[in-house]
Structure 1
Amino acid sequence: MPSYDQSALSRRAFGGAVGAGAAAAVGLPAAAEAREQPFRAAPRPSGRRPNILFILGDDLGWADLSSYGSPHIKTPNLDRLARQGVRFTDAYAGSATCSPTRFSLYTGRYPGRTEGGLAEPIADRSVGLEPTHPTLASLLRDAGYATALIGKWHCGYLPDYSPTRSGWDEFFGNFGGALEYYSKLGLGGEYDLYEGDAQYKDLRYYTRILTERASEYVARDHGDKPWLLNLNFTTPHWPWIADGDKEESAEIVRRIKAGEGGALWHQDGGSVEKYTQMVQDLDRSVGEVLKALKKSGQERDTLVFFASDNGGERFSYNWPLSGNKASLQEGGIRVPTIVRWPARLDGGQVSREPVFTPDWTATLLEIGGARPDRAYPLDGTSLAPYLLKGDELPERELFWRVRGERALRRGDWKYYRGKGGDDQLFDLHADRREQADRARDEPELLAELKAAWERTDAELLPYPAAPTR
């Protein structure tokens, strides 16, 4: 191992330094940090395969939960989930925007391995997740799981692409990247709420509908089958409309129907206060689904995962990270991540291991007893030995690529090139804000990480000549 890499042991030693000083260093409330212990696996008999409830928020920033340091957003349900499970401080999305991260989750591979993953994000009907590509859902279904996706798909449009063509038995939600929360009008002015491949009319607030559907699914009698539910909220993605904001909704609908391009982006709306309402509504909604899960008697044997699909947008709270959604700076890709599985994981723990979206695909496939397709090798590393047995994670590199930016993390070191074209090097252990460029001090390490990034990049599909819009 190179001398300039921080070992997993040193990271855990840092993780053990709880208290006010350590909490201040990572931007967390001291009281919350003091209740957590560094992660330690507690090996137990394997028991039954778990149900999997995989919840994604949409454009939720790393510090938008009170358990991650937000001073003004209150998220008691997600904070409780963190206390009951493992909270990851150095967890990342597979990309910096919506659909590429979803590609990386569903395939377990870098987005750039597929044509649809090159769109950042998908905005038309020309590309999508090919139905022939194995997915988390199709592989788990082959292993005996019931599968469902409720909420945002954003991996292609009908007639060629759909969750029901890619391994999910059931789908209820929207195909596009955003929709108006009441009317369900999408970016092109089309109505975008579907059950399966057929439109479904419901003009209530979208987050309420998804919460009801998910609560019904987890409470359902699935017989002897374990189940996978991908629950993809659109909250707190724009437009900035909270439950009850019907006048603001009507005005956006009027502008959409008048042919105003970009009306749904809501560039002239929103506020920190409105965003706070939306995040707190997401927290309440997750709480309702978890309450239904507990009432069903399946809580102990259900692995619950919560994260965001990428970093936060314009009203998000990302301190102390730099950058937002669409950037490969930490604020664009580092996301809040919580895992709870009462049967196998102790609660009140925090892990500082660097992990990213494709790792969770590999992990869930191993835990669910599914075999990856050797024709489509995974880019993620299964975390099951680390989480369930206490094995050390192997030295590895986390890779990202978006048009105009590149990043790679090895241990505590991050190689980054932004749109300015300069190669930079950051020690995230000492400088998670990415302000102290160590490139001049560590030229050999910089060259090594740059070469590692370029080796992986050479394996991926090239971007098309013009951006996909």
Structure 2
Amino acid sequence: MTMQRPNFIFILADDLGYADLGCFGSTATFSKPPFAPSANLDRLARQGLLSTQSYSNSPVCSPTRFALMTGNYQYRYRGALDEPIASARGSSVLGLPQSVPTLPKMLRESGYATGLVGKWHLGFPPHFGPLQSGYDYFYGATAGAVDYFSHKDSRGHHDLWENNTEVFDEGYFTDLVSDRAVQWLEQFGPASDKPFMLSLHYTAPHWPWLTRDDVNESQRLEKTNAIAHLDGGNLQTYWRMIQQLDEGIGRVIHQLEINGQLDNTLIIFTSDNGGERFSNNWPFT
């Protein structure tokens, strides 16, 4: 009997603080009824392995992602030294080179289906993109930050793509990412013998600090060109963003259960680096 190869889901939060999850000491709760913002992630932690001695080797987005994708120190690559890499839209120089080995490339060569849903931030197509770096499928944003409703980046460019096609789906970005991840996983049902790797890269809880109920705040920020971290947000909003990210992860886990694939799937969760204004990075800061 041939042994079934494991599936992989690599979940990446964006600017999440070390102690923003209950399993790492967060005491944040919401009342009526009380619940923790990170209930699904805390359940994964209880049932799995909690890594307390793993460290990001960069405090910002693109350099961290270069390292995660390649397994190398980011300073080996020219594009990894530019932050934000959004300033290089269209550049044929700044980005993850197509010639560099990546985990999705190696898994695809071994027969895996590979998909990235969410944030890329490693250069811009056509020179640099997920499809050039080992992924069969991509849905999400290419820049470092997008408004959660207009899906425009900090320079005002619309930035929502399916593969190489610009799409104009409406909705809260965190929910769109969760929806598409679930849809992509549906193809790997109980009868499927195709192993898969899903990179699920949320932009939450990165600024702009908006929950799915904050469309009016999104419109205000767009009028003032202030989607960046200099304006808006509060601690309750930040916690809600984490909770809505956590809800999406719960849906992904549920889809794995429906598919009969949960026990054969290795789920890895991390943040790209530490958090910003409303995060809790204790004991590191």
1:109 aligns with 2:72: yes
Aligned length: 271
Please give the residue correspondences for 1:76-87 in structure 2 after superposition, counting only pairs within 5 Å: 76-87=39-50
Alpha-carbon contact 1:55-1:307 (below 8 Å) kept: yes
Query: Tell me, what secondary structure is at the counterpart of 2:50?
Result: strand
User: Offset of 1:131 from its aligned partner?
Assistant: 1.1
Counterpart residue identity of residue 242, structure 2: V
1:214 aligns with 2:181: yes
User: Offset of 1:47 from its aligned partner?
Assistant: 4.0
Unaligned runs of 5+ in 1: 1-45, 257-262, 323-469
Alpha-carbon contact 2:188-2:194 (below 8 Å) kept: no
Query: Tell me, what secondary structure is at the counterpart of 1:140?
Result: helix
User: Offset of 1:94 from its aligned partner?
Assistant: 3.6
Unaligned runs of 5+ in 2: 30-35
- What is aligned with 1:171? 138
Cα RMSD after superposing both structures? 1.4
Which protein has the larger Cα radius of gyration, Structure 1 or Structure 2? 1
- What is aligned with 1:154? 121
1:91 aligns with 2:54: yes
Counterpart residue identity of residue 269, structure 1: G
Q: TM-score, normalised by structure 1?
A: 0.56
Query: Tell me, what secondary structure is at the counterpart of 1:184?
Result: coil
**Correspondent of 2:213 among 226, 230, 244:** 244
Return structure 1 stretches of 4+ with deviation > 6 angstroms: none
- What is aligned with 2:164? 197
* 1-structure distance, mates of 2:124, 2:224: 24
Query: Comparing 234-243 with 223-232, which one deviates more in the overlay?
Result: 223-232
Alpha-carbon contact 1:181-1:241 (below 8 Å) kept: yes
Query: Tell me, what secondary structure is at the counterpart of 2:269?
Result: strand
1:130 aligns with 2:97: yes
Alpha-carbon contact 1:102-1:309 (below 8 Å) kept: yes
- What is aligned with 1:334? none
Counterpart residue identity of residue 197, structure 2: L
User: Offset of 1:158 from its aligned partner?
Assistant: 2.2
- What is aligned with 2:275? 312
* 2-structure distance, mates of 1:97, 1:183: 24
- What is aligned with 1:51? 7
1:225 aligns with 2:194: yes
Query: Tell me, what secondary structure is at the counterpart of 1:270?
Result: coil
Which structure has the higher relative contact order (CA within 8 Å, separation 6+)? 2
Alpha-carbon contact 1:94-1:105 (below 8 Å) kept: no
* 2-structure distance, mates of 1:266, 1:98: 14
Q: TM-score, normalised by structure 2?
A: 0.92
**Correspondent of 2:222 among 229, 253, 257:** 253
* 1-structure distance, mates of 2:264, 2:161: 30
Distance 1:313 1:266, change over 3 A: closer
